[in-house]
A and B are shown apart, each in its own frame.
Chain A
Amino acid sequence: MKRIVFFALASVLLLSAAAASAQNKDRRKSFSSWENYEITTEKVGVDGTKFVKVWGFGKNADAAVMAAKKNAVHACIFRGIPGNATAMATPPICSNPDALSANEDYFTNFFAAGGPYLSYITMTTDGIPSGTDKRKVKGGYKVGIYVQVMYDNLKRKLEADGIVRKLSSGF
């Protein structure tokens, strides 16, 4: 009888530990996931640009800033940017949902560390992310930065590289 109780207790403990570990894993995964980031339009940017606030996650604040920059370009290409009360939403440059998987090599190179994506982004945060824009979270930092994405130039680049069709394609 005692043994049964012992085994039952042990399995409950093991199971809960496993569940907790899975939960943590999920959590870590959700942080590092490409799709899991917040982006908001700040204001209508100057011609050809999008002025947004974007969040990124990283082991340290610098890594989080890099991730946020990547996220901003990612949003312009694949996700689109939600609008606000005084700025309309921006559609993604690649309207085709399979664009990423169809051009995996291209985008792997495009988003590589120090890759071409950096040419289409300017950080407009004064200094480093600060105040409530720099948060310690489990496993690292979450930072919010203000950026200008050169949306039109980015679109031209993807058009020139044959990833998306130009508006005038076919005419």
Chain B
Amino acid sequence: MKKLLITALSTALCCTAAFSQAKVREVVTSDYQRNGISVVAVERSAQYDSDVLQTVSRFNPGNKFDFNAIPTTSVRIPKDRTLSVSQAEANAAFNSVSFGKQILSSVFNRRADGTMDDKTVRYRGNYNAKDQDVINARASQIGLEALGDAGYALVNNSYIVFIDLWNVTSKTDDQGKVTYYVNGNAFAYKTTFDEAWLNGFYTDCWIYDDDDATVRSAKIRAFEDLDVPVSNIASASAKGSGNTLQGAMLDACQNLIINLENAIPAWNVALTVMATRPLRAKCGTKESISNGDRFRAYSYREDREGNLISVKRGFLRATTVSDNIGMATGDTEPTEFYQISGNANIQEGWTIKQSNDLKMGVSFGPRFGGFSHGKNGKSLGLGLALDVDYLLSINTKGFASYALMSAGLDVSNAGYAPVYVGVGYGFGLHLTRMVELMPYIMILDDMLLSKSGTSTPGANKTNLMSASAFIAEPGFRISLNIAYPFQIYAKGFYDLMIYQGPVYKSCVSYGLNHGNGLGFAAGIKWTF
């Protein structure tokens, strides 16, 4: 058994290590450009239509997107809201509306008389410009006008996202608190024309001041007949929950955008490290970056044939996020980062690309001692623990705050079916990026399930409380990166009984080996 475990573990480790060093076939670059987005709600001709419409119309996908206001804000797919909408149904609804034309009308401010202008496009070109673009523009004869010109290339980065929210459920707890749950599907479509197509559009549809009535009407007709290439490029599913229906729907929308971000590489912010100690890169709130966002670093090399290869390096998290909303001036304040993995230090000039995660670490392992004691209370009891830590924030020095959740069972006293759950707070300190020390405090609710009644809700409550104990657990955890996101951890703690229910107390008197005590645990951890 041991051999098998060791073999399995070492194979997993080798695989992970090999995978982390593998070369990326597709070259990851740092040429991130802003994208335009229009969010469209899916109506079902069923319950919650107005809630969905309201939520989606109020939903802000984030500062990183330019918002393309189009007249069609919803499409109708008649279907029961307990069922999910399929890709084919979404495509059919998409094809029934000329979204491509609506996008062009929006970005070129097309008016009723068919005339258009490039104010929005030029503004976006300027807004999208990075410091290097500003410096380049200053070096060229065209000058800063070139920044606005860059906006024309952004027109093709337009996305239409269908948001379908379905299967709305709710649960009411004992105190009457209602929690809503919503499932969501997102279908993303993108304009797929090139510069030549856009030039053809200008030739056929762009009305000049000196065009006569005949030419104008011909161009208006050409616009009406225009077939703008748009295609489906990604889809995503997510769930949302909240105390209100709209809150749950909004949560689902936000999660859908996060999941689409993972599916659409062009949405991932990519840029280069401008300095180290601390790690800095020119991005910030304009790109919807927030504290704790994860990025992956890449360096470049050439193979023997001179082909460019991007090499995956470590991960890093955004710490102090710069407020860079506004036009670049060539001197933008950078956001700071902390490197959380990788053997080599991330260097100046390397590319970093957004690589969203749940900021959640899940660890599993045996637990010895603590409130659980062995026979006669003289030895350490054995338990199994599943811990979850959620990163609340991290700073440039590597100090991190975690919300902790824990659940486990005490194997040594299995006869009582003792199960515990807990919540807490941890403060992570990094000695190096490979080692994290975390003092923490948790409150555990140790429940003896075998002693809790199940007859009525009221009785159940009383019984569960009386068969429970609340335990304060101050402790210290040390985690070691093996091959990120795989870690091993060990922790030491002291469990202090702060409250024991009457049933629990009597069980302790009659043989349940639970009480105050030192304990330790160890296991493996995976970051999602």
Contacts and interface: CB of A to CB of B under 8 A. Distances in A.
Contact of A124 (B136, B146, B308): B136
Contact of A130 (B142, B143, B274, B302): B274
A51 B310 CA distance: 27
B279 to A, nearest CB: 13
Interface in A86-142: 124-138, 142
B204 interface: no
Best-buried of B140, B143, B146, B301 by chain A (most CB within 10 Å): B140
Contacts of B310: 132
B45 to A, nearest CB: 49
A46 B140 contact: yes
A148 interface: yes
A45 B272 contact: no
Contacts of B130: 126
A24 B372 CA distance: 66
Interface string B210-241: 00000000000000000000000000000000
B141 A137 contact: no
Nearest to B134: A126
A132 B299 CA distance: 8
Interface stretch (B153-161, B245-253, B347-355, B479-487): B347-355
Contacts of B138: 124
B345 interface: no
A46 B139 contact: yes
Contacts of A40: none
Contacts of A134: 299-300, 349-350
A61 to B, nearest CB: 7
Given A132-B300, A136-B299, A42 B136 contact: yes
A132 B308 contact: yes
Contacts of B29: 131-132
Given A131-B272, A135-B301, A146-B136, A44 B141 contact: yes
A161 interface: no
Interface in B323-372: 330, 348-351
A43 interface: yes
A136 B349 CA distance: 12
Dominant secondary structure of chain A at its interface with chain B: mixed
A136 B301 contact: yes
A125 to B, nearest CB: 7
Given A127-B348, A135-B302, A43 B146 contact: yes
Contacts of B30: 130-132
B348 A130 contact: yes
Contacts of B131: 126
Contacts of B140: 42-46, 51
B215 to A, nearest CB: 28
A137 B141 CA distance: 34
Interface in A129-171: 129-138, 142, 146, 148
A72 B330 CA distance: 23
B74 to A, nearest CB: 41
B459 interface: no
A79 to B, nearest CB: 20
Contact of B349 (A46, A49, A61, A146): A61
Interface of B: 27, 29-31, 130-132, 135-136, 138-143, 146, 272-275, 299-302, 304, 308, 310, 330, 348-351
Q: Which 3 A-B pairs have the closest CB atoms?
A: A130-B272, A130-B349, A43-B140
Interface of A: 42-47, 49, 51, 61, 124-138, 142, 146, 148
25 contacts: A42-B140, A43-B140, A45-B140, A49-B139, A51-B136, A51-B139, A124-B135, A124-B136, A124-B138, A125-B132, A126-B132, A126-B135, A127-B348, A127-B349, A128-B349, A129-B349, A130-B350, A131-B350, A135-B300, A135-B301, A135-B308, A136-B299, A136-B302, A146-B135, A146-B139
Given A44-B141, A45-B139, A127-B274, 17 more contacts: A43-B136, A43-B139, A46-B143, A61-B349, A126-B132, A126-B330, A128-B274, A131-B30, A131-B351, A132-B300, A132-B308, A136-B299, A136-B301, A137-B301, A137-B302, A146-B132, A146-B136
